[in-house]
Amino acid sequence: MDKRVIFPKGKQKEFLLNTRKEFKLTWPEFARKIGVKRKTLEKAYRYENCSLPLKVFSKIAKLKNIKEKELIDKCKVKVVDFIPDATKLRYLGEHRAKLKETNILYKKEVSTIDNSTIKTSKSDQKKCLIFPERLTPNLAEEIGIHIGDGFLSDKKHDFRVKGDKEKEREYYNNFIRGLYKMLYNINVKIKEYEESYGFELYSQGVWNFKTKALGIEAGKKDNMTFPSILKVNDKEILCSFIRGLFDTDGSICFKSQNKIKKYYPVISIALISKNIIFGAAEMLTMLGFEPYRYQDKLGYWVIVLNGYERLERYYEMIGWSNPKHLRKLKEWKIKYPMLAKNIDI
């Protein structure tokens, strides 16, 4: 596999310009001395459309009469295995994909939540249960988590949130536990179940708050209605809800194409509820993602965000609270650093 030298952003161009000036070379002369085409040197390497091959870097070290290792240390660069075709595909893709700016069409502003009619049990009162009095980004994210991993019984006051017992322990222990404490003053008991990891709780107050104040339907989620409380003209609220939903039921993967292994990013989610997928897709469209939406052969409704531009916008605008997604992203960046040039993780 070809090895590449990875400079900090802007430093590769600076390195080449300084070398050319140091030896008073024209671009054609410089290209001949290091054995590359002039256009490759000027257009690809100089403007950082692709990283510098180690063999070219070594020739520059020889030109400077410096050992390769010494020049690597001096320039503070990394040497990595890299596939040049992936960089080419990234470069071409950027010229095809031009995402739209954020344009939220919802007219409603964020307002306070009326909790005056919410009935609580003696147990709730003993636990000093609290309810959010306003739709905040944290509450919006919790609603996304509920729709993704949660279940609200239509027969009892049961509420449960459960995820993958192998991959999501850190997410539940370090994030979800604290989120429910902050929002509701509940010390949820996170534990392992036979096929999942999470919590169950019985609370009249939480059940009433979710159904009456938030407008979340209890029972099966097959035809679940999209909560209208979320349809507000607030970018942070929309992003937080999407984060909670995709953290729990969404995924990020990297596809192989053209003999290049697992390099092309795809963020997706599949749900049985058409209403939830249509509502989430509407939000993503307003946020400028231009999502692809369809129904698969199994009857699930799917949202797909393909490509580098959407990945970078998602990372910057929405992000992940679930470490399992961040681990995948970090592994990909280590393997393809030039494809993840705007992602700092």
Would you call 92 exposed, middle or buried from its count of C-beta atoms within 10 A (0-12, 13-18, 19+)?
Answer: exposed
Give me the mean pLDDT over the 103-108 stretch: 96
Determine the Cα–Cα distance for residues 328 and 340; give it in Å rounded to an integer. Answer: 12
Q: Is the pLDDT of residue 292 over 90?
A: yes
Determine the Cα–Cα distance for residues 251 and 288; give it in Å rounded to an integer. Answer: 19
How confident is the model at residue 61, as a pLDDT? 94
pLDDT in tens, 21-50: 999 999 999 999 999 998 889 888 998 878
Which range, of 2-11, 229-238, 271-280, averages the lowest pLDDT? 2-11
Q: Is the pLDDT of residue 215 over 50?
A: yes
Distances (CA, A) of 182 to 139, 158, 219, 241: 10, 20, 26, 17
Give the percent of the chain with pLDDT over 70: 94
How confident is the model at residue 253, as a pLDDT? 96
Give me the mean pLDDT over the 46-55 stretch: 87
For the chain, what is the radius of gyration of the CA atoms? 26
Q: Is the pLDDT of residue 257 over 90?
A: no
Confidence of residue 92 (pLDDT cuts 50, 70, 90): very low
Give me the mean pLDDT over the 209-213 stretch: 95
pLDDT in tens, 184-195: 999 999 999 999
How confident is the model at residue 95, as a pLDDT? 47
Average pLDDT of the chain to the nearest whole number: 91
Q: How many helices (H) and strands (E) does the chain have?
A: 15, 11
As given in the structure block, the two tokens for residue 239 are 């992003």
Which range, of 79-88, 149-158, 192-201, averages the lowest pLDDT? 79-88
Which range, of 29-43, 150-164, 170-184, 275-289, averages the lowest pLDDT? 29-43
How confident is the model at residue 165, as a pLDDT? 94
Domains of the chain (ranges, CATH numbers): 3-82 (1.10.260.40), 122-220 (3.10.28.10)
Confidence of residue 163 (pLDDT cuts 50, 70, 90): very high
